[in-house]
Structure 1
Amino acid sequence: MQSTVYKLSELFIIFILVPVSFAIDYPIWIKMIIGVLGFMYVLFVLLRIEKNKFKIAQHLNWKSFFKRTFIQLTIIAVLTTLYMLFVDPPNLYVVVLNKPLMWLILLFVYSVFSVYPQELIYRTFYFQRYQSLFKNETLFIIINATLFSLAHLFFRNGLVMILTFIGGILFALTYKKTKSTLLVTIEHAIYGCWLFTVGMGEMLGFPS
């Protein structure tokens, strides 16, 4: 059993020190090495210490999940479409309308190589490692969303920070309820892919 001090130090390094450092200008190859080593550490802890089996749980309520996700997606779609319509109309649906093949490729790359690793770190790893350290579940979820938002600091965009904080709340609530990395990954991918579709992908580092 690892000590509380060890876990809090681990949390600080992985979720605060490293993301903040990525917002500082230094060679990209060093950032990549740090990112890969950090992800390998997370996988090691999940597999060897937390004893994860990475099996799809049998108890998942897919109907309830997709119903709730669809409702939330509808709200997100309306709000983001209105935002693009009034703030940045030239980019409204620009990729899906003009470069549909690139749009499909982006959705695949984003979902597999970005969303899944993020959810392993920010939901599976975070919840399993640190939930026992917090007595207040609301505070635990707010901290999770804050750290998730902080991970996007390197974009240096206030709207991105707000959107990822809101997303962090939604994803944390989903994981808290289902304990499923698969479901929270699907939810994250759906909302993220919508942002690319509506034309907000450029601010998230994807070409338009």
Structure 2
Amino acid sequence: MISKLKQHYRNPTFLYLESYLLFIGLPMVAWYAGMRLPMFITLWCLSVLCMVYIHLAEGTTFRQEWNWGAVNRQNLRIILLRFAILGPLLAAISYLLIPERFFAFPRERTPMWCMVMALYPILSAFPQEILYRSYFFHRFKSVHGKKVWRTLVVNGMIFGFVHIVLKNEVAVILSAIGGVMFAHTYYKTRSLALVTLEHALYGNWIFTVGLGWYFYGIAWGHAPVTH
């Protein structure tokens, strides 16, 4: 009985249905319902359930999944070199789209900016990486198989899609591109710690240069303006 349930649970049809409901259906419901504050609670509840699954079904402990050993000089060098290129590009995009908000957050609301810099990696980047990288690659590995780049692109697309709840295309596009990059980092290193650090680096930078307006403006009831 239990073995049959496990087989059914790992059936490709069931996996496709689960991925659709989780990564497409749930964001659409959130977008349609206009949910805001419950999003963080939902994200954290899902991330906890995902870690429980990874431990019980895959036999992977949190320490193994965290894999701090991958946070080494070589991997950090790759991430920082990539950021040295993409960081200024993001700043330029911010200046072109919303020049009035360029570095306005740290200048005008310094205490709030400091709080975001400290809490975003823990409260947002970390649970997102559990759900969209750890769980995705553990749970759906049998569906995507060895087609690496297709898997990375699909992961980026669903990560971008969840940001439809923010109701602007800038957040969706940036998140999709970032999703592919984060997926590649996780795929290469299998380190939740490293990919969380990378996600936090870009997330904090986006808030700093002004693009965070597209990610938090809606949450406060303001519509971002593009030029």
TM-score by length of 1: 0.89
**2:95 alignment counterpart:** 85
Distance 1:27 1:91 in 2: 26
User: Structure 1: where are the runs of 5+ without partners?
Assistant: none
State whether structure 2 residue 121 is matched by structure 1 residue 96: no
CA contact (8 A) 2:105 2:208 kept: yes
C-alpha offsets along residues 46-88 of structure 1, whole Å, 9 cap, x if unaligned?
2221222111437526112211111221222211222233332
* Identity %, equivalent residues: 25
CA contact (8 A) 2:43 2:128 kept: no
**2:12 alignment counterpart:** 4
Q: Which letter maps to 1:160?
A: A
Distance 2:46 2:153 in 1: 23
What secondary structure is seen at the aligned counterpart in 1 of 2:70?
Answer: coil
**1:161 alignment counterpart:** 172
CA contact (8 A) 2:70 2:189 kept: yes
1:64 pairs, out of 74, 78, 82, with: 74
> Structure 1 stretch 33-42 or stretch 130-139: which is displaced more?
33-42
2:23 pairs, out of 15, 28, 41, with: 15
Distance 1:33 1:43 in 2: 16
**1:43 alignment counterpart:** 51
Q: Which letter maps to 2:204?
A: C
1:117 pairs, out of 117, 120, 127, with: 127
C-alpha offsets along residues 141-200 of structure 1, whole Å, 9 cap, x if unaligned?
111100000110111111111111110111010001000011000000000100001111
Q: Which letter maps to 1:7?
A: L
> Structure 1 stretch 102-111 or stretch 53-62: which is displaced more?
53-62
What secondary structure is seen at the aligned counterpart in 2 of 1:112?
Answer: helix
State whether structure 2 residue 91 is matched by structure 1 residue 73: no
Distance 1:104 1:26 in 2: 28
CA contact (8 A) 1:92 1:198 kept: yes
What secondary structure is seen at the aligned counterpart in 2 of 1:152?
Answer: helix
What secondary structure is seen at the aligned counterpart in 2 of 1:52?
Answer: coil
Distance 1:176 1:112 in 2: 21
| Alpha-carbon shift at residue 37 of structure 1 (Å) | 5.0
Distance 1:174 1:57 in 2: 13
TM-score by length of 2: 0.82
Distance 1:123 1:109 in 2: 20
**1:141 alignment counterpart:** 152
Work out the number of aligned pairs and report it: 208
